[in-house]
Each structure stands twice: as C-alpha cells, then as structure tokens.
Structure 1
C-alpha cells in the first residue's frame, strides 16, 4: 500500500453504519410521534413481503475489554438477567400493540455486551417471549455473539433449538501481550472448543472477529492469529480496524499509552498482511472489513448484489424495518432512526410508564434517502450509479471534482453516471463515502467525533 496514499487519506471519518451518521442527526426536529408514524408506514410496506429484523442488545459483561466501544454494564451479579429480559419483552409488547397484524420476523441478532452472560433459561424466555407476538419468516436467519470464555455447550444447543444457525465469536488476537493490554485474555483452545461445538451441533455459519491495530500488536501477531484461525476454518471473518477513540469511550481505552498503538503505515501493513493471508486461505473480501468462504451466505449475497448493511453490521438479506430492543439500541424504519435510552435505569423507567424508551432520533429528508442509497451501494457493492430520478442529486457535479482526484490516485474508476471502487480503493471506501456525505461537507466537526479511516 502506497505510504503517501495512507498519509493523504488517513483522516477521521465515519464507519457509515447509518446515513446520516449519529452526530448529524437532527434531534431537535425529531419527535416520538415521527418514529411511531414511520415505524407503522415501514411495517405496512414490508412485513408481508420481506418481514422485519430485530436487534436485541444484552449489555452485561463480567469484565471490561478495553478495546470495546459498545454500551455495556460490568457486573458479576447475574440477578440482573431476569429483570432485563422482562423489560425487553415489555418493550416488544409495546411495539406489538401498535400493529394490526403479527410481525413476521426474518432476522434476529443478539448483541452486547455479552449475550452469553445470560443463562440458557433466560435466553429461552426471551426468544419464546418474542414469538408470543410474532411468527418466523420461512427464510429466517437468527444469529448471536458468543464470548469464547463463557459460551457453554448448553448455550449453543439451546440457541440452536430456538432457531439460531449463525454464531460469531470474538477473538481479537491470540498474542498474550496484546490480550493483557486489552483485558481480553482467552486461550486458543477456548475458541477452538466453542467452534467445534457449534459445528458439531449444526450451526451453518460460524464467524470469528479479529482486530488489527491493537496496542503492542506486531505483524507476527496478526500472522499467528490468522494461521490459528485458518486451522478452525470459520465460515466468515470480521477483520476490523481498532478504533482508538478514548474521548468517547472514557478510561476503558486508557489502559495503555498512545505510543503503544500501531499507526499509519505500520497499522496498514498489519491490514495488508492479514488480508493477503485471508485471500490466500480461500476467503473473499465482502464489503468493508469482512471476509467469507464461498460456501457462506454472506459471500453468496455479495455476489448476487443482495448484501445489506445496517446497525447490526452486514447482512445477507435486507429488511426495510429493523427494531432495536434493549438499552441504547437503534431502530431503523428506513425513513427515520430512533435510539433507546443509554442509561439502564432511564430505560426501565420509561417502560414502567408504558412508553417506548426512545430518547433521540432523526427523520430522513428526501436528500438523506438518496445519499443513503449511494453510501449503502458503496459499502455493500463497491460501486454506485446516479442514472435514475431516484438516485440523481444536484451535488453530483461538485462531488465528481473530489472523485477525479481519487481516480488519479487509483482508488476508483469514474464511469458514465457512476463510480466503481478498485481493489486498491477498498481500503479507502470510508473516504469515498465521505465524498458523498453532504452533512459532513456542510458542517465539518469542530471536535473529535470519528476514528481514523486507516
């Protein structure tokens, strides 16, 4: 990777799990009723055709991992489980009461926190409680995140019996020095054990999450981690860039010094070495930061142009409506976003008042909807076009000026009424999306908001 390109494009930038990104939501003009209205509209348009998605946030962890930016609550007190499950089910009932027909659920993802913090009994109560007010789509896909240190055979078997066929295990890195720095110490045999269990039980898609750019991480650490990963043959991999944003994540990311973190060319080498090893071992690059074997549905949906991206990450199928349940979860009706209270006590209080626990959101404008399509296309297909009335926007000519410079740098190709990202450009897809981000162009952030793009 050309060092001058890294220096040129290594700037703070969004990861585009949504457009507009959360810092640019127009919260002042958003109302609770806006969310209810767009939620009902999206449901009526999509439930029968494609179903809906549920993201359920399970925030509890027994220990703090210092690389993590998720909303979590650290505790070893497992008596918190049942009250939280009941609160999530109360939230789901409030949504169900707004509808005149049963929701058809196509996707469920359990995220965290640590979903496997919860007992199998409480997880069973959660899923059965959801389907007391819903039905499964014929092609449903349920997934969850498992911590290798506390995911038991019973967890895997129970969730499989409840319909889950995809599981993702957080690996990060196998170096003991790196693990100690990020407070995520787990032996390789723990990951191997849960991976073999999942395969034995019948899970059809097993994923591992790996991070590059962690404190003290060296090239040999990435090589060792991927070689060990190769021996387990997960169906898909997330190969993430570590986002060092201590101004957001507080003291949890200050267990090491800034100079301990690989930067710029050093960090990009970690990515290049890792990517080359993954490609050599039969994995295909899917969207941003993701790789999959040809047999996995993520690869198949990418090849078919059906890959989708939302607050749950990449998905092999698209639903217009995604409801986020649980503290801090974000919902997406396509026409608006709504985020739940981040503080668990505030979340509980609103539910006691029979109110959806929403504290902010954004109603998408017509312009937002057009730009959102382009950014989704770039993140999911590495190309986008503005050749129809629903994809053209007046700022196209202005953006082409910036895109021409990127074309000269070899990271994209400008075509008639569109662009295509090159293989070299895939590493800079966030920068390409930033060229389309009209909110970011009109008001550059005055303080640190985003992680570096490289």
Structure 2
C-alpha cells in the first residue's frame, strides 16, 4: 500500500457498528419512554417475520488484559455469578412484560468480560432462564466467547447440549513478549485444546480473534501467529487493529508507552502480510477485518448479500431488533439505541426496582435512518446506491468533496448515485463511511474520540 495513502487516511474514525456512533447520540432528546416506544414498534414489525437477536454481557474477569476496551469487572470472587444471572433474567422479563409476549429468539451471543469466568452449571441456569422466556427460532444461532485458558470441556459440552454450534476464542498473538505486555499469557497448546475439543463435540463454526498493532509486536510475530492459526483452521478469523484509546478506556491501556506501539506503516505491513497468508490458506475476506472459509455461514451470507453488522460485529443472520442484556450492553431497535448503565451495583439496584437499566440512547431521525442504511451497505457489501433516496449525497458539498477525493485516490468508483469500494479501497472502508457521516461532518470533535483508521 502506498505510504502517502497511509499518511493521508490514518485519522481517528469510528468502526461503525452503529450509526449514529455513540459519541454523536442525541442523549438530550432521549428518554426511557421514547426507547420503550421504539422497541415496541420494532418488535411489532419484525418479531413474527424474523425474531430478535440477544446479546448478553458477562463482565467478570479474573485478570486485566491491557488491550481490552470492553466494560469489565476484575474479581476472583465467583459468588457474583448467581446474583448477576438473576439480574439478567429479570431484565429479560421486564422486556417480555413490555412487549406483551415471548420474543422469537433468532440469534444469541454471550460476550464479555469473560463468559467462561462463570461455571458451566451457572451458565446452564442462565440459558434455561432465557429459553423459558423466549420461543426458539427453528434456525436459531447460539454462540459464546471463550477464554482459551479457562474454557473447559464441561463448558463446551454444556453449551453443545443447549444447542450452541459457534464459539469464539481470543488469541491476539502467540509471542510471549507481546503477551506479557497485554497481560494475556496463553500458550498455543491451550488454544489447540479448546479448538479441537469444540470440534469433537460438534461445533461447526469456531472463530479466532487476532490483533495487529499491539505493543512490541513485529511483522514476524504476525506471521508466526497466523501460521499457527492456519494449523488449527478455524472457520472464522477476526483480524483487526488494536484500538489504542487510553484517554477513553482508562489506565488499563497505559501499561506500556506510546513508542512501544508499531507505527501506522508497520501496522499496515502486519495486516497486509496476515491477509496474504490467510488468502493463500483458502480464507475469504469478509467486510472489514474478518475472514471465513467458504464452508462457513458468514461467507455464504456475504455471497447471498444477507450479511449484517451490529454491536455484535458481523452476523450471518439479520434481525431488526436486538436486545442487549447486562451492564453496558447496547440494544438496537433499528429506530433507536439504548445503552445500559456500566456499574454492576447500579444495574442490580434498578432491576430490583423493576426499572430497565438504561442510562443513555438515541432515537434516529429520518436522515439518520437513511445514512445508517448506506453505511451498513458499505460495511457489509462494499457498495451502496441512493438513486431511490431523496437524500442525494452528491448534492451535499461536504460529502461530495470527500467522495471526489476518494475517487481520485482510486479507493472508490463513483457513479451518479452509486459508490463501490475498490480492492485498493478495502483497507480504508472506515474512511469511506466517514464521508457519509453527516453528524461527524457537521460537528468535528475537539478531542480524539476514536481509534486510528489504519
């Protein structure tokens, strides 16, 4: 990749798991009442046809990984498990009461934190509570994130018995120096064991998360990590850039100095090498930062143009409504977003008082809804068209200037009312989406809100 493009486009930018992005939510005009109306509208429109998605945030970890930007609670006290599970089930019950019937559960993902911090027995109690309050879709997809160091055969067997076919493991990097810097020591043997055990128990889609741009990370480390990953041949690989935002995420990301991080040029070289190795091994690039084997549902969804992106990342199935349960979890009705409080104690207290634990959100206006569709198209299909839209981007000066610049750099093909991302432009898809982000265009941040795009 030309160095001049790296320097030109390596700017802070969103990863667009939503539009508007969280810093641009209109929280002043949001209320719990407006959120309830939004989710009820979405549920009435879409539940019978496609069901809902459910994301459950399990925030507890026994130790701090310094690369992580998620909401977590560091503790070795496992007595927190049952009370938190009761709160999660209570939250779902409040939504069922609001909606007036059991939702059809199309997709569920357990994230964290560390879901496998919880015992297999307690995770089964959680899932039984969820299933009692929902109707399982005939093609339900169930998945969870597992830590290779503490995911046991009992965990995998319990989830398999419940119908789980997908599991995602955080690998990050196999180099010991990098692992020490990010406080995540896990040998290849641990990842190999949980990957092979999952396969033996019938899991059909195993994913590994790999990060480039970590402190002390070299291109040789990426090559070694990718080669070891290919040995295990997971069906999916998330290969993404470390988001260094210590001013947002706090001291957890200050365990190393800025000069310990690879430069933008070095990061790009790491990505290009990793991508080359994955493509040579038979993986196909999916959207942004993801790769899948042609046998996997995510690849098939891309081919059918049914792939979706939300706060859970890329998904092979799409639902209009997504409920987020647990501290910091974000719900999405398509017409609005709502985020839960981030403290476990406050979360528990609100639910004990029969109050949905939402503390902020955003209700989308007509312009937001149209832009959201175009950004989603670009992130999933690398193309969008506004010929049937009354919001003509090629007539909006702040957008037109950027689109022409992207076209001049051969990152997009711009026609009258259609934009297509070129192969050269794929690494810059976040920058391309930024050109459509009118909230960002109209209100440039005074301080850095996002990680760098390259």
- TM-score band by shorter chain is over 0.9
Partner of 1:159: 159
Moved more, 390-399 or 275-284: 390-399
Quote the Cα distance in structure 2 between the aligned partners of 1:22 and 1:216. Answer: 31
Q: Is the 8 A contact 1:14 1:430 kept in 2?
A: yes
Preserved CA contact (<8 Å) 1:385 1:391: no
Could you say which residue in structure 2 is the equivalent of 1:402? 402
Q: Give 1:389 shift.
A: 3.2
Structure 1, unaligned runs of 5 or more:
none
Change in 2 beyond 3 A, CA 1:296/1:391: farther
Aligned pairs for 1:32-431 within 5 A: 32-389=32-389, 392=392, 395-396=395-396, 398-431=398-431
State how far apart, in whole Å, the 2-side matches of 1:382 and 1:396 are.
21
Match of residue 452 from structure 1:
452
Deviates more, 1:406-415 or 1:230-239: 406-415
Q: TM-score, normalised by structure 2?
A: 0.99
Paired with 1:119 and 1:142, the residues of 2 have a C-alpha distance of: 18
The superposition leaves residues 284-326 of structure 1 with CA deviations (integer Å, 9 ceiling, x where unpaired) of 1101100000000001101111110000110001100000000
CA contact (8 A) 2:393 2:436 kept: no
TM-score (norm 1): 0.99
CA distances 1:315-345 after superposition (whole Å, capped 9, x unpaired): 0011000000000000000000000001111
Aligned length: 454
| Structure 1 segments of 4+ aligned residues over 6 angstroms from their partners | none
Q: CA deviation at 1:112?
A: 0.1
Deviations 1:150-205 (A, max 9, x none): 00001001011111110000000000000000000000000000000000000010
| Greater alpha carbon shift after TM alignment, 264-273 vs 398-407 | 398-407
Kindly report the root-mean-square deviation, in angstroms, between the aligned alpha carbons of the 2 structures: 1.0
Q: 1:282 and 1:216 mapped to 2: Cα distance?
A: 29
- By how many angstroms is 1:85 displaced? 0.3
> By how many angstroms is 1:394 displaced?
7.7
Q: 1:36 to 1:276 in 2, by over 3 A?
A: same
C-alpha separation in 1, matches of 2:187 and 2:263: 27
Structure 2: give runs of 5+ residues left out of the alignment: none
Q: For the Cα contact (< 8 Å) 2:394–2:400, is it kept in 1?
A: no
Asked if the contact 2:394–2:417 (Cα under 8 Å) also holds between the matched residues in 1, the reply is no
Q: 1:293 to 1:440 in 2, by over 3 A?
A: same
